[in-house]
Structure 1
Amino acid sequence: MKKRILLLSLIGSVLFAQCKTSTPSQTAAPTETTATAPTAKKEFTYTTVPNDPLKTRIYTLDNGLKVYLSQYKTAPRIQTYIAVRAGSKNDPADATGLAHYLEHMAFKGSTRLGTTNWEKEQQELAKIEALYELYRTQKDPELRKKTYHQIDSISGVAATYAVPNEYDKLVAAMGMKGSNASTWVEQTIYYGDIPSNQLEKWAMLEAERLGVMIPRLFHTELEAVYEEKNRSLDSDNNKAFEAAFAALWPTHQYGTQTTIGTVEHLKNPSITEIKKYFEKYYVPNNMAIAMSGDLEFDETIRLIDEHFGRWEKGPEPEYNAPQEKPITSPVVREVYGPEAEMLLMAYRFPGVKSKDALVLRMINEILSNGQAGLIDLNINQKQAALGAGSFAEIYNDYSAHFLSGSPREGQTLDQVKNLLLQQIELVKKGKFEDWLIPAIVNKNKIAKMQSYESNAARATAFVDAFIAQMDWAEYLKREEAFEQITKQDVVEVANRYYGNNYAIVYKRTGQDPTAQKVEKPTITPVPANRDAQSDYYKLVASVPSTDLEPQFVDYKKDLQEGRLKSGIPVYYTRNQENGLFNLYYVVEMGTNHDPKIGLAVDYLQYLGTDKYTAEELQKEFFKIGCNFGVSSGQEQVYVYLSGLDTNLEQGLQLFESLLQNPKADKKALEDLVDGILKDRENAKQDKNIIHGVAMVNYAKYGPKNPFTNILSAKELKKVKPQELLTIIKDIPSYQHHVLYYGPRPLQAITTTLNTGHQVPALLKPVPDQKAFNELSIKKPMVYWTDYDMVQAELIFLSKSVNYDPKLVPVARLYNEYFDGGMGAIVFQELRESRALAYSASSRYSIANKQGRANYVVSYIGTQADKLPEAMAGMQGLLNDLPTAQANFENAKASVRNSIATERINKSGILMSYESARKLGIDHDIRRDIYESLGALTFEQIQAFHKQHIKEQNQAILVIGSKDRLNFKELANYGTVKKLTLKELFGY
């Protein structure tokens, strides 16, 4: 979703924070070098750190702008981040949400970009700004209504001069991927992954649009932020986190104000305050550019200086962090909502530069590392709770350690709390094994190796250092310091910070007594002006760039095939970058063949062997830097092993012993079944599962579908451990193939597997699976499900023809034209012009397997009181494709540039081959798209739309509160049918 705020999220029953990038260990001091760009007289000095694996160059422009550059040439692309050291903690107390809303405004252009007549437009914008300042002071509802009507009216006039999404159109045509931005407590980040031949256009655009704040299309964009707020109000997880932050930091802005802002402040925005914020914080000496990829240092810094060097330096922004008083007793909060209950605890720690925050990272890993942490083993492995986890949030002024848990059936939240506190006590007493810290250090090194393969991870590390106000050498040294942490350090810090001093949030199931919503304002749609172009748009578009030739995967050359005993195929690509491997056994058999397969796979994680208990097995894998697992889908089972290739034999021996000789555990199975039944009940309280999974499966297949193809509660309870052990042992006995990506030659890995992979001489054929026929949608239907929420969410689903590779090129271009980003038709019309949604999308979805149908899948989430307009808006686009020749040319350029600069390599070659094989094709389908692109016309797009999208029978899937849904409106789109949770879930 575009321009979203970074929110902590719950995945399943365990809480996770945004991943932070590991960085290399360093001891040497930085050195300074002078380089002269070959095409310019100006000299640029830069700082480097000896032995830095990223070989980073850090420049500082004359105006104070920091620039981090790293070369990594696996593809002709560059990951770009532009970071501002300011976030929601810098918002004025009476105008919260300001930093986030400014982030939205930054995409609206400048005095030259996004306007056809700035002189006239700015006059109207000045009127709107003055009216908003008046609107903020008014209390009388009638006066406010009158003023808002004036704002809406003048906004319509101003919009006639605006060219919406010019920035987005240009970056799409350039082939930028992931164009987005995020705001959090002390940072705002703008990012995009660009083709390396588009560097100059990128520099021109970013310097232009971030050099000035123009409140263009302000009131329609504000409505998108309203929708974003409503989405957060519909999220129980978000409510729990806000409560935890407020309890943890009652004085500091981390807890006193949220990133999106309060409803009251959103209703009374101030353009004037946003401008003040921009002028204070968006100055070059408070910003940084971080880039990694296929770049040349001299050319890159020259272009950055040429365009960003024109920004004027400003005063250093000041911020004095409020000081919190110690927490002396638990701070208890309760929140309510329709989702399953859970518990969230948090302890306060000092900020990022303290050693204690570094030790917090280690404590977090000791508790929860996904394999051998105390929570992993003592709670999750033993199934003592439905799920539990731990993560650290480390900020500049303070940090926090969060613990979370979900209860089993009949278990109280306080019992979950006590389980978590018991693990904390073990840390305080040093009751964890001595090998654990070295193993965590080893895991951290592996994570660093993996992160170095990602330009995004490299650039993120630069941003993290900048936001933390650390120079690069200091930032890297912290990784070395992490590796030196001792058990004594851990025990001392744990005893200093973990006491009766935590914040705790009980998230209970029930109606929220504090429920609120942002009311729908009256907004007149503004013109999309699709054919208009500013002079600056034309200038940037005309900048020449060198052509980049695409590289397509040749499955006959880019992967090798070997054979194991019993004729098992091995598909191989070599890792020439580091010492890590990925190994998969792939069996074309899943839960559609037998629902017990899924149960057996789940059971395996709780089993040991004749030599190791389940807990000991996890420890052994963790010690050697390997990870294992079995994942079952509807049609496949993936058995996987990954980690340090030097320890592959040890890992393989452990792994195979578990597959060949699992030891039955009756209690583990009983607990697993109870947990599954509780998970099923929780799923019926999750609107994303209800809407995006259960309702979609119902519409495609009817009540008997792959999602409902599960064992009943009665059947589950009858299953015996030995039945599941038989299934587990049988997995390698079926026909299967092996995937390997690692540093060993093919012959070496074949030899290793022939010794280590235990299989019978004759493999069994995979049995036929249960067939689920995709139903025709014979007449328009509207299915709805009741759910207590502020918004209403809709999916428009229509079935198309079966997969045909000949359709792929035109479908790809159609999708890019119709819904390829913020400059495309759907976003422009439904969000920018009509302000109907924060998130809207529509795609012609290509099947992932030969013989399956393609589908048209469209989504919109909106306030329930906007349901009529939202449905009409989406349906109108699906039936009448707007014509915009400039958009079409941009879409072609976007597809061309994207494919020309994509590189499928490393393990991606194996996964690409797997996808092609399922579709019955023997080549890289991107070649067909690229070679067809030049000849495709807009008339062909129109013909495709008319044949496959327009006026197709639809199943419209609606989830929302029955008290807010407009059933009379729903009936206009087809036969309305309520779906109960039992119908959707089958239980």
Structure 2
Amino acid sequence: MIKNLKMAALALVCSAAGIAQEVEFTEYNLDNGLHVILHQDKTAPVVSTSVMYHVGGKDLKNEKTGFAHFFEHLLFEGTENIGEGEFMSVINSNGGSFNATTSLDRTYYYETFPSNKMELGLWLESERMLHPIIGESGVETQNEVVKEERRRSYDNRPYGNLLQVVQGNLFSKHPYKDPNIGYMEDLDAATLKEFNEYFDEYYAPNNATLVVAGDFEVKETKKLIEDYFGPIPSGNEVNRAFVEENPINTKVTDTFHDPNIQLPMLILAWRTPGMATKDAKVLDMISTILSQGKSSRLYKKLVDDQKQALEASAINLAFEDYGAYAILSLPQGDTKLDTLKKEIDEEIIKLQNETISDREFQKLQNTFEKRFVNANSSVSGIAESLATYNVLYGDTDLINEEIEIYRSITPEDIKRVANEYLNENQRAEIYYLPKKDDVE
């Protein structure tokens, strides 16, 4: 059914944000469980076709990591009807663009074509779902690709293992403790049988959401979707057991040595609620208060005024089951990491004890209004938002309604959340240091 939501709820709030247009969409299920979302927009002759699978780095196979990220690559190898290595060339030769990404919670594939090539996008994604070739050759090829990515983006990149270190300190049981890319020894040890079993378990229509957004005719597109995706057999129901972590009640201290850096980094990290909670959105706002822009509290204090840091950033990493909140700082000159820690703690304590000013709060609201508008300013952005809200939040309507959650946040909420989650005894203090020759 068409989601007709109130335009008044998405009207002009500030001149910087402009007008947030309602995103209308139709959603329904095929008999095999595939969830379909259609968003028609004829302002430009382009169409985005995307599929989001509810599988990510947290979904292990026989306790082996990295399978979902591996499949992000592997499912471009070819199908029964697309030759090896031809998937991407087919897209390029038809004027399209494409990408795929894997997070700890989901995998997302999309193509954007001229609108007269919309059917091609549907065929490609149906081929990926129904007819992939998962064989020794493709597995070996992509294993080398992933190893090179691991070397380039993690092991040989300055601060490349930062997120892995944060996750490992905040989680001890949940699969979020492991890197999204996985450990190479796990992929080396994986069998072809395990790869095929993993595909059968997670890459079925009942674990996927298809989004078509852009310039198309609804009736014609529904028929094409039924033709291409309707015959794909439904898979078994995916059973996910939530892995509960014990609360962190005592400060964790860790040191990591990185051979690729010259400057040390201080990382303060907390485990926080999952992305669907209101408190996760309050933490987004706290990050903005602390470190977005040169007038933010940490940047102005540590970088501009006191010249103690080259960089100070607060980041809210909202995952499906839990979140990870981190404050990162690079010292300037002879500033000690413990000095930065003391200065950062002063700002956290201010948030816990002082209500932010009306002026700062209004600026914060304006920032999130603008961010909301920008996220849905393109067909491909709308497509990803629709898929994300459906798969990870269980509520596609949030594409129009989530801004109301941010609007409902008060200065008292900011103070409450800072007191509830950002305490010293609940965090990991990580000293991310240059590796010396004598350090193993």
* TM-score normalised to structure 1 length: 0.41
Q: Distance in 1 between matches of 2:245 and 2:300?
A: 35
Q: Does 1:262 align with 2:183?
A: yes
1:274, CA displacement in angstroms? 1.4
Indicate conservation of the 8 Å contact 1:379/1:385, yes or no.
yes
Per the alignment, residue 102 of structure 2 pairs with 183
Per the alignment, residue 207 of structure 1 pairs with 126
Per the alignment, residue 241 of structure 1 pairs with 163
Q: Residues 690-769 of structure 1: matches in 2 within 5 Å? A: none
Q: Does 1:172 align with 2:89?
A: no
1:194, CA displacement in angstroms? 1.3
Write out per-residue CA displacement over residues 434-459 of structure 1, whole angstroms, 9 at most, x where no aligned residue.
22222211122122333332222212
Q: Distance in 1 between matches of 2:405 and 2:133?
A: 45
Q: Distance in 2 between matches of 1:212 and 1:234?
A: 36
Q: Does 1:334 align with 2:255?
A: yes
Q: Paired residue for 1:375, among 298, 301, 305?
A: 298
Write out per-residue CA displacement over residues 348-385 of structure 1, whole angstroms, 9 at most, x where no aligned residue.
11112222212212222222231433223322332331
Write out per-residue CA displacement over residues 373-410 of structure 1, whole angstroms, 9 at most, x where no aligned residue.
32233223323311101121111110121111110100
Amino acid at match of 1:209: R
1:74, CA displacement in angstroms? 4.2
Secondary structure at the residue paired with 1:359?
helix
1:82, CA displacement in angstroms? 1.1
Q: Distance in 2 between matches of 1:76 and 1:296?
A: 12
Q: Distance in 2 between matches of 1:264 and 1:513?
A: 26
Secondary structure at the residue paired with 1:202?
helix
Amino acid at match of 1:85: H
Amino acid at match of 1:280: E
1:279, CA displacement in angstroms? 0.9
Q: Does 1:222 align with 2:143?
A: yes
Q: Paired residue for 1:402, among 326, 331, 337?
A: 326
Per the alignment, residue 12 of structure 2 pairs with none
Cα 1:229–1:511 change in 2 (3 A) is farther
Write out per-residue CA displacement over residues 631-653 of structure 1, whole angstroms, 9 at most, x where no aligned residue.
xxxxxxxxxxxxxxxxxxxxxxx
Aligned pair count?
420
1:431, CA displacement in angstroms? 4.8
Q: Paired residue for 2:308, among 384, 399, 412?
A: 384
Per the alignment, residue 506 of structure 1 pairs with 431
Q: Distance in 1 between matches of 2:376 and 2:162?
A: 34
1:318, CA displacement in angstroms? 1.2
Per the alignment, residue 307 of structure 1 pairs with 228
Per the alignment, residue 348 of structure 2 pairs with 424
Cα 1:200–1:343 change in 2 (3 A) is same
Cα 1:195–1:328 change in 2 (3 A) is same
Q: Does 1:57 align with 2:20?
A: no
Q: Does 1:288 align with 2:195?
A: no
1:48, CA displacement in angstroms? 4.9
Q: Residues 793-872 of structure 1: matches in 2 within 5 Å? A: none
Q: Distance in 1 between matches of 2:247 and 2:343?
A: 24
Secondary structure at the residue paired with 2:358?
coil
Indicate conservation of the 8 Å contact 1:49/1:472, yes or no.
no
Indicate conservation of the 8 Å contact 1:349/1:398, yes or no.
yes
Per the alignment, residue 355 of structure 1 pairs with 278
Cα 1:455–1:409 change in 2 (3 A) is same
Per the alignment, residue 116 of structure 2 pairs with 197
Write out per-residue CA displacement over residues 729-783 of structure 1, whole angstroms, 9 at most, x where no aligned residue.
xxxxxxxxxxxxxxxxxxxxxxxxxxxxxxxxxxxxxxxxxxxxxxxxxxxxxxx
Q: Paired residue for 1:83, among 30, 52, 57?
A: 52
Q: Distance in 2 between matches of 1:450 and 1:90?
A: 31
Indicate conservation of the 8 Å contact 2:53/2:203, yes or no.
yes
Q: Paired residue for 1:70, among 36, 39, 46?
A: 39
Amino acid at match of 1:252: H
Cα 1:409–1:485 change in 2 (3 A) is same
Q: Pairwise CA RMSD of aligned residues?
A: 2.1
Cα 1:352–1:512 change in 2 (3 A) is farther
1:329, CA displacement in angstroms? 2.3
Q: Structure 1, unaligned stretches of length 5 or more?
A: 1-31, 33-45, 115-163, 516-987
Q: Distance in 2 between matches of 1:223 and 1:100?
A: 13
Amino acid at match of 2:308: A
Q: Distance in 1 between matches of 2:205 and 2:309?
A: 50
Write out per-residue CA displacement over residues 236-275 of structure 1, whole angstroms, 9 at most, x where no aligned residue.
42212111101011111011x2222213213222221111
Indicate conservation of the 8 Å contact 1:335/1:512, yes or no.
no
Indicate conservation of the 8 Å contact 1:213/1:278, yes or no.
no
Write out per-residue CA displacement over residues 825-858 of structure 1, whole angstroms, 9 at most, x where no aligned residue.
xxxxxxxxxxxxxxxxxxxxxxxxxxxxxxxxxx
Indicate conservation of the 8 Å contact 1:54/1:71, yes or no.
no
Indicate conservation of the 8 Å contact 2:157/2:260, yes or no.
no
Cα 1:173–1:513 change in 2 (3 A) is farther
Amino acid at match of 1:330: K
Larger gyration radius, structure 1 or structure 2:
1
Indicate conservation of the 8 Å contact 1:88/1:99, yes or no.
yes
Q: Distance in 1 between matches of 2:173 and 2:269?
A: 16
Per the alignment, residue 482 of structure 1 pairs with 406
Write out per-residue CA displacement over residues 497-531 of structure 1, whole angstroms, 9 at most, x where no aligned residue.
1212111221211248888xxxxxxxxxxxxxxxx
Cα 1:195–1:512 change in 2 (3 A) is farther
Per the alignment, residue 108 of structure 1 pairs with 77
Q: Distance in 2 between matches of 1:392 and 1:512?
A: 34
Q: Paired residue for 1:444, among 359, 363, 368?
A: 368
Q: Structure 2, unaligned stretches of length 5 or more?
A: 8-20
Per the alignment, residue 140 of structure 1 pairs with none
Q: Distance in 1 between matches of 2:417 and 2:238?
A: 33
Q: Which moved more, 1:354-363 or 1:66-75?
A: 66-75
Q: Distance in 2 between matches of 1:192 and 1:214?
A: 20
* TM-score normalised to structure 2 length: 0.89
Write out per-residue CA displacement over residues 471-511 of structure 1, whole angstroms, 9 at most, x where no aligned residue.
22245433202111111111112111121211122121124
Secondary structure at the residue paired with 1:335?
strand
Q: Distance in 1 between matches of 2:107 and 2:438?
A: 33
1:96, CA displacement in angstroms? 1.2
Q: Distance in 1 between matches of 2:23 and 2:3?
A: 13
1:430, CA displacement in angstroms? 2.1
Q: Distance in 2 between matches of 1:65 and 1:109?
A: 22
Q: Which moved more, 1:325-334 or 1:213-222?
A: 213-222
Indicate conservation of the 8 Å contact 1:426/1:432, yes or no.
no
1:301, CA displacement in angstroms? 2.5
Cα 1:193–1:475 change in 2 (3 A) is closer
Per the alignment, residue 16 of structure 2 pairs with none
Q: Does 1:251 align with 2:173?
A: yes
Secondary structure at the residue paired with 2:194?
helix
Q: Distance in 1 between matches of 2:80 and 2:300?
A: 59
1:49, CA displacement in angstroms? 4.1
Per the alignment, residue 470 of structure 1 pairs with 394
Indicate conservation of the 8 Å contact 1:239/1:335, yes or no.
no
Cα 1:65–1:404 change in 2 (3 A) is same
Cα 1:263–1:513 change in 2 (3 A) is farther
Cα 1:317–1:48 change in 2 (3 A) is farther
Cα 1:212–1:469 change in 2 (3 A) is farther
RCO higher in structure (CA 8 A, sep ≥6): 2
Q: Which moved more, 1:454-463 or 1:83-92?
A: 454-463
1:199, CA displacement in angstroms? 1.0
Write out per-residue CA displacement over residues 904-932 of structure 1, whole angstroms, 9 at most, x where no aligned residue.
xxxxxxxxxxxxxxxxxxxxxxxxxxxxx
1:166, CA displacement in angstroms? 2.0
Secondary structure at the residue paired with 1:238?
coil
Per the alignment, residue 97 of structure 1 pairs with 66
1:302, CA displacement in angstroms? 2.3
